[in-house]
Amino acid sequence: MNRIYDVAIIGAGVSGAAIARKLSRYRIQTVLLEKEADVSFGTSKANSGIVHGGFHHNAKYLKTRMEVLGASLFDQLQRELGFPFRRCGIIVAAMHLDEMRVVEHLYRQGVENGAPGIELCSRDRMLLLEPKLSTEVVGGLYAPSGGIIEPYRFVFSLVENAKKNGVTLETCFKAASARRVPASDSGADAQLWEITAADGRTVRARYVVNAAGLQADAVSALFGAEEFSITARKGEYFLLDRLAAGCPSRVVFPVPSSVSKGMLVIPTVEGTTLIGPTADMVPDKGDLATTAENLARITASARMLIPSVSERDVITSFAGLRPVLEEDFYIDMSKKVPCFVQVAGIQSPGLTSSPAIAEYVKDLLLKDGLELSENPEFEPYLAPPVHVRNLPPEERAVLVSQNPAYGNIVCRCEEISEAEIVEAIRHGHTTLDGIKFYTRAQMGRCQGGFCSYKIMKLIMRETGMSAEEITKRGGSSRVLEGEL
Amino acid sequence: MKELRFDAVVIGAGAAGMAASLSVSKRGFSCALVDREDYMGGILLQCIHNGFGLQHFGEELTGPEFALRLEKDVRAAEIPFFSGTTVLSIDSEESGFSLILSSAANGVFRASCASVILAMGSRERNRGNIRIAGDRPAGVFTAGLAQRLINIDGYLPGKRAVIIGSGDIGLIMARRLTLSGAKVEAVVEIQPFPSGLTRNIVQCLNDYSIPLYLSHSTLRIIGRDRVEGVEIAPLENGAPRLEKAFTIDCDTVLLSVGLVPENELSAHAGISLNPVTNGAFVDSTLMTSVPGVFACGNVLHIHDLVDRVAGEASRAGESCADWLEGAGSGKKRAEVPLKAGANIRYTVPSTIDPESKTTVCLRSMVMLDRGILKIMRGGAEIYKKSLKWVRPGEMISVEIPAGTLGVASTAGEPFEISLNAAGEGVK
């Protein structure tokens, strides 16, 4: 790999993807390095999927400024990239009068932060805004700009658009070592970063952005940059079926405690319901296990808000890890090593902030001397993937007459056609989880019981992989033992 | 959009759909059979073991043989079969129903009909449904998926398996995996009794010395990338004894924890569903709450024998033909509710016509070596039957002759059906 990049971004989560897409507007060469088999496979795939309302955090924090600015950029991004996103509004429900003191504090904070349209609500207004709320509600807060988003689809669309505009993506690239090397084609003083992956691949770049999420501390150490320690906070969730009676029309928060925003009830853009998360610090950054006790707590908490949430509707549970540094985000040029940008500690509201983080990092690079001239060929638009499920029958009929594979429904629960799965594979999503997050196939009520073997066959047909080579999410997550 | 017209459309071409379509067709009505897969037979095709057909065909067959017999009849009757076709929606119209279907071969098209028979079968309950905690590695399969992978696609899911749940598919798969060279370390059942058929416990576990842990709860699945083990603990007084927990090493977990009728299409069509069975509420003619829509087989309630599925489906087909003959009346019959009493989980149908011969299917909640089944109405006992070897895992089907239930002069009162150990309860 002899190409020299201007910027190498380590980590293709939402921060890295947003930065990559931002930089793809300029006439520079950018490479996005991801240690997993696909993008968005870490923190960015397992979170609440919320564009926050700008009232949860104090204005003194960088993350608050990023949250409010980031949230305002989603409409434009959605127009360009077509990911699933809807401003359904966020409510915080107080269940007794003491909690209203906290709600009033959140309201004042929101006003100070410039959260658009935020209001205090009486009990009646709360029940009008969300009729499924517990009748024990005494009042609350409403942030109409808050919204819901499919986080992995957001990341996929950012990366796809970045690639379209010239960014290179390297997956399964686990940075193993880094050093400064002389830039061969320029003056004697000029130096570059050379990053070597565990499998021997190397990448050279003038600048490195550390957007490595949970591993940002390890990556910083690898480059001899600042020493800090990222700890993992685990959030466990339940996903409820599309037909669940307990699906609210807005995101419903409880009144937050000192340690977390609490467990919420979230209507997803796709019509399912998410409940959770818990918030427990875990010593192991690979610990994505769910626990029986926490899962019981989640349903109990969710039912305090929305009593019609039922365990009968649970189709799966999962956990995500938040990279926690300190209270705030850490986004800055390294003071210790040259040409190294730290984007660390991006916990909540990281997804909401990501468009603003990208802007901020771009400005840091510019200030440090990276020349950024607009690329006149930049194409901001991305044709969103077709979902036959969302089309009226007549349009669907036309589409199927053009490509019969749209008529063959492979995933019955989410109504995903063969053509949609093939499209995912052709976009480079060749693990079962990658296809799941890209298309929603296997994400419904049967959780792949009926369609995963069909998807495996499509992967084999499209890529030439053998059955033994197919994995759930890369690495050693092999699905089958082999042929009989 | 292309539009086709039939007297009836049967959704699902497994045992239920094939048998139902045959009954409709024999009575001279036009009938279309639709299936998502490219073939008829449904899940029977992956059930390559024997034990099918003793009731319906009077001889022991494998699943594919059972399916083939029905398929031959369907082909001979020239029933149009739409393979690889998914029904997207069912809408009620003035003259019946309008369905939208999708396939690669025929595109998106419409089918209108006077009657619909639901025969979509069931799906397997999965890990999320029973909330097994722990890691989420590769190597966790529902038993039916593993069966499909081995028997149809020729792939081995893993080498050392633990099977969670003792449903019939899991038991069959314990044997199948063993015969395929894998080691089955254990079958783990949370209840104090197996949920599968007794014959499968004997033939699939005992014959291969596979340990069955009854009254054991699965605490978690272990393994980051691929399954490495399952932690289980014995239940005492209804709660797992965590201090007695132990881990069984394995690379594969199969889940055989029950089936759920696949009724999302029905729910969208406005058909009311029974929260106990997850199937439609039906009357004694197997008609759902929507007049003209019938249901049979596993989409109605979970059966343990395909013979019973076929029998029920034939009745649904007959009822559908009766409905088509009387087309125009457009009304449901007035029937009397049938309530599940002591020790009964549910009954199908949920209403009965006291004047007619009725088949009632039910599930016991208790194990009894000898039981007495009673139907009461308004405090009076009007039907009684002795039963042997009652097991929750084995469906009970009772034929009640015409006139039997009509004797009580307690109109307005529901029937209640109950099951008790012989020699206890009401005389």
| Closest chain B residue by Cα to residue A312 | B129
CB atoms inside a 10 Å sphere around CB A14: 32
Q: Which of B102, B150, B264 sits opposite A400 (nearest CB)?
A: B102
Q: What is the pLDDT of residue B424?
A: 61
| Closest chain A residue by Cα to residue B155 | A483
Bridge partners (DSSP) of residue B165 are: none
- Are A477 and B226 inside 8 Å of each other by CB? yes
- Are B156 and A388 inside 8 Å of each other by CB? no
Rounded to whole angstroms, the maximal C-alpha distance in chain B is 67
Q: How many CA atoms lie within 13 A of B145 on its CB side?
A: 31
CB atoms inside a 10 Å sphere around CB B74: 23
The total number of residues shown for chain B amounts to: 427
Q: Which of A316, A404, A405 sits opposite B128 (nearest CB)?
A: A316
Which of chain B's residues have a Cβ under 8 Å away from the Cβ of A394? 1
Distance CA(B156)–CA(B331), nearest Å, equals 52
C-alpha B53 chain-centroid distance: 16
B293: left (phi over 0), alpha (psi -120 to 50) or beta: beta
Range list of β-strands (E), A268-415: 273-276, 280-282, 314-324, 330-333, 340-344, 409-411
State the burial class of residue B387 (Cβ atoms within 10 Å of its Cβ: 0-12, 13-18, 19+).
middle
Token duo for residue A104 = 């009033």
Confidence of residue A258 (pLDDT cuts 50, 70, 90): confident
From residue A141, alpha-carbon distances to A67, B143, B147 in Å are: 18, 47, 52
Question: Any chain B CB within 8 A of the CB of A227?
Answer: no
Encode B230-275 in three state secondary structure: EEEEEEECCEECHHHCEEEECCEEEECCCEEECCHHHHHCCCCECC
Q: What is the pLDDT of residue A19?
A: 98
Question: How close B156 gets to chain A, by Cα (Å)?
Answer: 5
Q: Over 90: is that where the pLDDT of A149 sits?
A: yes
- Are A418 and B124 inside 8 Å of each other by CB? no
State the burial class of residue B93 (Cβ atoms within 10 Å of its Cβ: 0-12, 13-18, 19+).
exposed
Which of chain B's residues have a Cβ under 8 Å away from the Cβ of A404? 104-105, 107
Cβ-defined contacts of A327-330 (< 8 Å, 24+): A327/A61, A328/A61, A328/A62, A328/A63, A329/A61, A329/A62, A329/A63, A329/A66, A329/A353, A329/A357, A330/A228
Q: Which residues, 6 or more positions from A196, have their beta carbon under 8 angstroms from its beta carbon? A: A175, A176, A177, A178, A202
Q: What is the mean pLDDT of residues A449-456?
A: 96
- Are B155 and A286 inside 8 Å of each other by CB? no
- Are B136 and A318 inside 8 Å of each other by CB? yes
Encode chain B in three state secondary structure: CCEEEEEEEEECCCHHHHHHHHHHHHCCCCEEEECCCCCCCHHHHHCCCEEECCCCCCCCEEHHHHHHHHHHHHHHCCCCEECCEEEEEEEEECCEEEEEEEECCCEEEEEEEEEEEECCCEEECCHHHHCCEECCCECEEEHHHHHHHHHHHCEECCCEEEEECCCHHHHHHHHHHHHCCCEEEEEECCCCCCCCCHHHHHHHHHHHCCCEECCEEEEEEECCCECCEEEEEEEECCEECHHHCEEEECCEEEECCCEEECCHHHHHCCCCECCCCCCECCCCCCECCCCCEEECHHHCCCCCCHHHHHHHHHHHHHHHHHHHHCCCCCCCCCCEEEEECCCEEEEECCEECCCCCEEEEEEECCCEEEEEEEEEECCEEEEEEEEEEECCCCCEEEEECCCHHHHCCCCCCCEEEEEEECCCCCC
Range list of β-strands (E), A172-249: 175-182, 191-197, 202-210, 231-240
Q: Which residues, 6 or more positions from B121, have their beta carbon under 8 angstroms from its beta carbon? A: B12, B14, B16, B42, B43, B261, B262, B297, B298, B299
From residue A228, alpha-carbon distances to A15, A223, A329, B180 in Å are: 19, 13, 13, 52
| Chain A interface test: which of B103, B159, B225, B227 (most A C-beta within 10 Å) | B225
Q: How many CA atoms lie within 13 A of B158 on its CB side?
A: 31
State the burial class of residue A84 (Cβ atoms within 10 Å of its Cβ: 0-12, 13-18, 19+).
buried
Give me the amino acid identity at B350.
S
Q: Over 50: is that where the pLDDT of A381 sits?
A: yes
Which of chain A's residues have a Cβ under 8 Å away from the Cβ of B135? 288-289
CA angle at B229 for the pair B224 and B230, rounded to the nearest 5°: 110
Token duo for residue A89 = 């509004």
Distance CA(A159)–CA(A174), nearest Å, equals 18
Q: Answer yes or no: A52 catalytic.
A: yes
- Are B155 and A480 inside 8 Å of each other by CB? yes
Which of chain A's residues have a Cβ under 8 Å away from the Cβ of B127? 316, 447
Count the helix, strand and coil residues of chain A and give each as a percent rounded to the nearest 5: 35, 25, 40
- Are A484 and B103 inside 8 Å of each other by CB? no
Chain A, chain B: beta-carbon pairs less than 8 Å apart? 150
pLDDT tens for each residue of A271-281:
999 999 999 99
Q: What is the mean pLDDT of residues A326-343?
A: 97
C-alpha B306 chain-centroid distance: 9
Question: Any chain B CB within 8 A of the CB of A475?
Answer: yes
Give me the amino acid identity at B179.
L
Q: What is the pLDDT of residue B382?
A: 87
Which of chain A's residues have a Cβ under 8 Å away from the Cβ of B220? 289, 291-292
Q: Over 90: is that where the pLDDT of B6 sits?
A: yes
ipTM: 0.94
Q: What is the pLDDT of residue B238?
A: 86
State the burial class of residue A328 (Cβ atoms within 10 Å of its Cβ: 0-12, 13-18, 19+).
middle
- Are A481 and B220 inside 8 Å of each other by CB? no
- Are B133 and A467 inside 8 Å of each other by CB? no
- Are A471 and B138 inside 8 Å of each other by CB? yes
Which of chain A's residues have a Cβ under 8 Å away from the Cβ of B251? 481
Mean pLDDT across chain A:
96
Q: Which of B107, B138, B154 sits opposite A472 (nearest CB)?
A: B138
Q: What is the mean pLDDT of residues A139-147?
A: 97
pLDDT tens for each residue of B111-155:
999 999 999 999 999 998 898 999 999 999 999 999 999 999 999
- Are A446 and B137 inside 8 Å of each other by CB? no
Q: Which of B134, B159, B225 sits opposite A290 (nearest CB)?
A: B134
Identify whether the C-beta of residue B52 lies closer than 8 Å to the C-beta of residue B63: yes
Token duo for residue A95 = 């269940």
Confidence of residue A384 (pLDDT cuts 50, 70, 90): confident
Q: Which of B103, B156, B224 sits opposite A480 (nearest CB)?
A: B156
- Are A479 and B134 inside 8 Å of each other by CB? no
pLDDT tens for each residue of A357-375:
999 999 999 999 999 999 9
Q: Dihedral angle at the C-alpha atoms of A276, A281, A284, A285, nearest 10 degrees?
A: 60
- Are A418 and B107 inside 8 Å of each other by CB? no
Which of chain A's residues have a Cβ under 8 Å away from the Cβ of B1? 393-394, 397
Q: Which of A314, A480, A481 sits opposite B131 (nearest CB)?
A: A314
Distance CA(B191)–CA(B393), nearest Å, equals 11
Of A52, A56, A57, A429, the catalytic one is: A52
From residue A45, alpha-carbon distances to A39, A154, A231 in Å are: 9, 10, 18
Q: What is the mean pLDDT of residues A455-474?
A: 97
Question: How close A42 gets to chain B, by Cα (Å)?
Answer: 14
Question: How close A447 gets to chain B, by Cα (Å)?
Answer: 7
Q: How many CA atoms lie within 13 A of B69 on its CB side?
A: 17
Which of chain A's residues have a Cβ under 8 Å away from the Cβ of B154? 483-484
CB atoms inside a 10 Å sphere around CB A104: 14
Q: Which of A394, A446, A481 sits opposite B123 (nearest CB)?
A: A446
Q: Over 90: is that where the pLDDT of A2 sits?
A: no
Confidence of residue B328 (pLDDT cuts 50, 70, 90): low
Token duo for residue B208 = 């291969």
Q: What is the pLDDT of residue A3?
A: 83
Q: Which of B128, B138, B264 sits opposite A479 (nearest CB)?
A: B138
Q: Over 80: is that where the pLDDT of A418 sits?
A: yes
| Chain A interface test: which of B1, B112, B131, B178 (most A C-beta within 10 Å) | B131
Question: How close A460 gets to chain B, by Cα (Å)?
Answer: 13
CB atoms inside a 10 Å sphere around CB B361: 19
pLDDT tens for each residue of A296-333:
899 999 999 999 999 989 999 999 999 999 899 999 99
Four-residue CA torsion sign, A323, A325, A327, A332 = negative
Distance CA(A99)–CA(A378), nearest Å, equals 49
DSSP letter for A65, please: H
Q: What is the pLDDT of residue A93?
A: 98
Q: Which of B31-45, B253-267, B362-376, B404-418 has the lowest mean pLDDT?
A: B404-418
Q: What is the pLDDT of residue B427?
A: 41
Confidence of residue B426 (pLDDT cuts 50, 70, 90): very low
Question: Any chain B CB within 8 A of the CB of A393?
Answer: yes
Question: Any chain B CB within 8 A of the CB of A409?
Answer: yes
Q: Which of B100, B110, B128 sits opposite A317 (nearest CB)?
A: B128
Q: What is the pLDDT of residue B111?
A: 98
Q: Specify the 3-state DSSP secondary structure of A92.
A: strand
List the end-to-end C-alpha distance of chain B, in Å, as a whole number: 64
| Chain A interface test: which of B2, B145, B263 (most A C-beta within 10 Å) | B145
- Are A400 and B139 inside 8 Å of each other by CB? no
Question: How close B425 gets to chain A, by Cα (Å)?
Answer: 34
pLDDT tens for each residue of B247-290:
999 999 999 999 999 999 999 999 999 999 999 999 999 999 99
Q: What is the pLDDT of residue B379?
A: 84
From residue B174, alpha-carbon distances to A196, A199, A287, B130, B186 in Å are: 47, 40, 31, 20, 9
Q: What is the pLDDT of residue B409?
A: 55
- Are B133 and A447 inside 8 Å of each other by CB? no
From residue A350, alpha-carbon distances to A60, A151, A323, A330 in Å are: 16, 11, 10, 11
pLDDT tens for each residue of A172-231:
999 999 999 998 765 567 899 999 999 999 999 999 999 999 999 999 999 999 999 999
- Are B155 and A481 inside 8 Å of each other by CB? yes
Of A237, A244, A221, which Cα lies nearest the Cα of A276? Answer: A237
Q: What is the pLDDT of residue B326?
A: 87
Distance CA(A254)–CA(A68), nearest Å, equals 21
